Structures are given as structure tokens and as C-alpha cells.
Amino acid sequence: MNTSKYFIQALLVVVFSTLSFIVFKEFLPKKIFPESLVNSKNVVVDSLLLEAIAEEGTIKEKDTLSNTIIDFKVVNGIKFPDETFEEYQGNQYLVTFFEKLYQLETKKQGNVRIAYFGDSMTDGDLIVKDFRTYLQERFGGKGVGFVNITSESASSRSSITHEFSANWKTQSYLKVKRPSRAFGVNGHVFFANDTSNIAWVKFKATKTKFATELPKPTLFYGSSSNKSGKVFCTAGDTIGKQLYPNSLLNTLTFSDGNLKSLKVNFSKADSIPFYGVNFDDGKGVHVDNFSNRGNSGLPLGTFDAATMKAFHAKLDYDLIVLQYGANVLNYGTLDYTWYEKRMTKVVQHLKECFPGVSILIISTADKSTKYDLEMKTDSAVVPLNTAQKRYAIKSESSFVNLYTLMGGNGSMVQWVEAVPAKANKDYTHFNHRGAKEVANIIYSQINQGYETYKNLRKKRKPITPVKKEAVIIKNDSIHEE
């Protein structure tokens, strides 16, 4: 057979294959390519998410919110205007948080602290770093806040240089249901369990705005019967300090001033649970980034209330931000009733763990998937977004509709294809440029709510204290004065 015959046969195969594809295309699933993440080897899915899908994935509830007007209750003489379901922001539920900002801005009194929980979208301090900077520019404050003993994203974090030895034992609420000791507010607990080698951790300030120093570094650790543990901190000179793990939660301040770098060696500290080191100057606003790759948000429901109240007593949170969704979109379902139900309980639990705290829910961002050879908004994005808004309303939380604010349908494609690009080629995660824009979106909505609060505060009527009549009991009879 000569070369021309081979060519003709090959051409016929190509033509036949092309015609077959055109004929059978309509019978193929529209979503023909599996989703893949840039760093798929690092993606972890928490076990609680898988259990929730298995147990409640088919449960549906009647929709009673979509056509509802949300009528808010007055708090401290303040009432934000009623809102529709579509336009819901829920700034009414940030009144106590706004008041703390007001006192900080007008009287330079007190400080404000925010716990920002998220998944891989906030990995490496993305989004949170810029969100923190925007707040500190306006209200003051220095330092990156609470930093874990070890972190899977340490190498990619630009707001602080973070290194640690390899002999730390880590337990995470994504992987362990019953930790040997209670998880910290960061969802982790760390043990220096290798007695033959010194465990250590090292921090160094970067050129990040408001984080060029490490203000008042303070170690957080739990209780233990081990009374022999010591730490040796090096910041120029090396100073040894005894650990006293007597209380449920203990702290040890390495310096009352600001440091450029700090290394801590842990000696004879096995069985003592460690959580992390906090860096803040005690003034203005501080934002702690508690990101976990693969987190759906459900593990927050496993927090030990007593331990969280101990953290709350020392850190005094005013606002908790929950930004989840990227890991909840990966299971082919369009009904998120199960997630709405579970996350409503999670928020209720957080309010028990951190009494008086305000809650802000940030919706899923847009995410694109290939349909018919074209990248389009994943069909699960809008249903999940709706479920997140629903549980925000049910749990009396504020809500930022990130999907809508970044542009809505098809916006992730636009962010990826922008010049310069604002998101990665996985059509899921933002790059540093996009993360800064997202941080500005979130900050802007909070700031708009805060400005509205200040106007409402000026117009509120003075609260007249109710005079209570004294009741005196004499000779089994009641006399009023």
C-alpha cells in the first residue's frame, strides 16, 4: 500500500470522527470535562461535608424567604430600612460592631477584632491581607494578628515570613473528629512531641503596610500536667521562659514592644497543646486569618464552647467573617438545602462560643466550568449563593453577595481574561490582584453600612431609662416606694 492510500484512510477516519461527534454531541453531557484545581494535590475536603451530603443531600424544604420583606428589630435605638430577599445585606446585625468602630473613630477608645474564617480563597492571607490593610488605614492598628504554629500556606504568605521545624504534630478539625486536646480558634492544635529534637517556630516581619514589625508577640497554649516545659525566645538575645499550662488557655508574652523577627525553641514541652502566636499593638483594628484549604465551614460547628469562650475572653472578637463555597461546589448537586440547614446551626454555635459577636457571611464567588467547549458560570453557583443568603437571614447575620458584586454570571471568565488577569486559569481562585479587588468589595459594603449607621445614630431618639420602683419586704408584706 503506497503513501497516498495511508493518507486517504487517515483522512476518512478524521472525517468520520468529526461527523460522529457532531451527530452525538447533543447526547453528551454539557459538562464534559472534570473540574481540576491548579494545586489539586493540596486540596483537602473536610469529612463533615461528605457526611452532610450523604445524610441530607436529598432533603428539600419549602421556600418561605424568596418573596419575603425582612423587617428588622430595633437595636440600641437603631433600625436599618427593611430589605427584600434579593437585595439583602443585613447591616442591622452589625449594629454593635458599627458602634465599636464609631467609638474607635471618634474617641480613639478601645479596639476592634475580627476573626476571618475561609477556605483556599483566603489561603496565604489572600483577600484578608488587603481587607486588614483597608481597615487599619481608616481606624488604626498594627500587626498581622493570630498566626498558627505551623501552616500549609506559610511559604505563600507575604504579610509575614513564617518558618517552623518538621517535628510538630498537627491535628486539624478538617481531619480529626476527636482531637487529643481541644482545637484552638484556628481549628488546629499543635504538639512538640519529638523529645529528642527541639521543635521551633520562627517569624519575621515583612514590608507589608502596618506589618513591618511584630508587635507584642504572645504565645497561646493550653493546659497540661507537664510542668517542665520551657521556651527559649531569640530576638537578638536568647531568653528562657517557663511555661505554666495550668488553665484551659494560657498566654506568654515574649516582648511588650515591637520586634523585627522572633525565633522560639520549645524544650521538654511534649503533651502541652500549642495554638499559635498573636501579633497586635492593642490599638485600632486587628484581623486574624483562619483559612483552611478544603474547608466547607461545617467544621466550625465542632468547636468546644468552653475553649472558644476562653479565647474570646483574651482576644475579644467583635465580628466573625465566614467566606466559604469553593469546596461546596464540587459535588454535582443543585440543591443546597442540606448546607443551608447545617450552616445555620454552625452560626448558632459560633454565637454561643463568642457571646455578643456579629456575623458576616460572604457568598461564593463566581466559578466557571467548561460546557460545550465554552467556559461558563458553573450551574451550582447560583443555587449555593441562594442557600448562603438564606442561612444568613435565618441566623440573623449580615451578607455580602460576592458573586453579584464581582459581576454575576460569566464574571470569573472576565476576571481570568482581563489584562492584567485578576484570577487564575482554574477559573476558581483569585490572584493577588484580584484578591485586593475582592477585599475592596467587602470593605466597601461594610463601610457603606457603617456610614449609614452613623447617620441613623444622629437621628435616633434618646433612650429614656425606665425608673424601677424599689420593692421592700417587711413583715411578709410588700411596700412600694
Of all helices (H) and strands (E), which one includes residue 19? helix 3-24
Q: What is the pLDDT at residue 386?
A: 96
- Report the pLDDT averaged over residues 203-218: 97
Angle at which helix 95-107 crosses helix 432-459, to 10 degrees, equals 90
List C-alpha distances in Å: 417 to 137, 366, 412.
31, 14, 9
Q: What is the pLDDT averaged over residues 151-180? A: 94
8 A C-beta contact, residue 135 and residue 287: yes
pLDDT tens across 333-375, in order? 789 999 999 999 999 999 999 999 999 999 999 999 999 889 9
Confidence band for 464, pLDDT divided at 50, 70 and 90: low
Query: pLDDT at residue 79 above 80?
Result: yes
> pLDDT confidence of 42, banded at 50, 70, 90?
very low
Q: What pLDDT digit, counting tens, does each position of 215-240 carry?
A: 999 999 999 999 999 999 998 888 99
Q: Is residue 264 a contact partner of residue 201, using CB atoms and an 8 Å limit?
A: yes
> What distance in Å separates the CA atoms of residue 224 and residue 216, rounded to the nearest whole number?
25
Q: How far is CA 461 from the centre of its chain?
A: 36
Asked whether the predicted pLDDT for residue 21 surpasses 50, the reply is no
| Coil/strand/helix, residue 390 | helix
pLDDT for the residue 442: 98
Whole-number pLDDT of residue 15: 54
Buried b (16+ CB within 10 A) or exposed e, 436-450: bebbebbbebbeebb
Among 17-26, 61-70, 154-163, 176-185, the minimum mean pLDDT is found in 17-26
pLDDT at position 129: 98
Q: What is the pTM of this model?
A: 0.86
Quote the pLDDT of residue 474: 38
d(CA 348, CA 108): 32
Strands annotated E in 176-297: 188-191, 199-205, 214-215, 218-222, 230-235, 237-242, 249-253, 258-259, 261-267, 274-279, 284-291
Q: What band does 212 get if pLDDT is binned at 50, 70 and 90?
A: very high
Q: Bigger pLDDT: 312 or 35?
A: 312
**Chain length of the chain:** 481
Rounded CA-CA distance 407/411 in Å is 5
Mean pLDDT of 469-475: 39
Choose between 39 and 365: higher pLDDT. 365
Residue pLDDT, tens place only, 372-420: 889 999 999 999 999 999 999 999 999 999 999 999 999 999 999 999 9
| Mean model confidence pLDDT for the chain | 88
- pLDDT tens sequence across 290-327: 999 999 999 999 999 999 999 999 999 999 999 999 98
Q: If DSSP codes are grouped into helix, strand and coil, which group holds residue 243? A: coil
Residue 43, pLDDT score:
40
Dist. CA 50–CA 57, nearest whole Å:
10
Note the pLDDT of residue 53.
Answer: 64
Is the Cβ–Cβ distance between 71 and 82 less than 8 Å? yes
The whole-angstrom separation of Cα 390 and Cα 395 is 9
330: pLDDT confidence band, cut at 50, 70 and 90? confident
Give yes or no for residue 83 having a pLDDT over 80: yes
Question: Cis bond leading into 465, ω under 30°?
Answer: no
The winner for highest mean pLDDT among 29-33, 131-135, 465-469 is 131-135
The residue with greater pLDDT, 96 or 177, is 96
Evaluate whether 273 touches 221 at the Cβ level (below 8 Å).
Answer: yes
DSSP element (H, E) containing 439: helix 432-459
Grid coordinates in use for 59? 432533603
From residue 211, alpha-carbon distances to 163, 261, 275, 336 in Å are 17, 12, 21, 39
pLDDT at 61 over 70: no
pLDDT of residue 235: 87
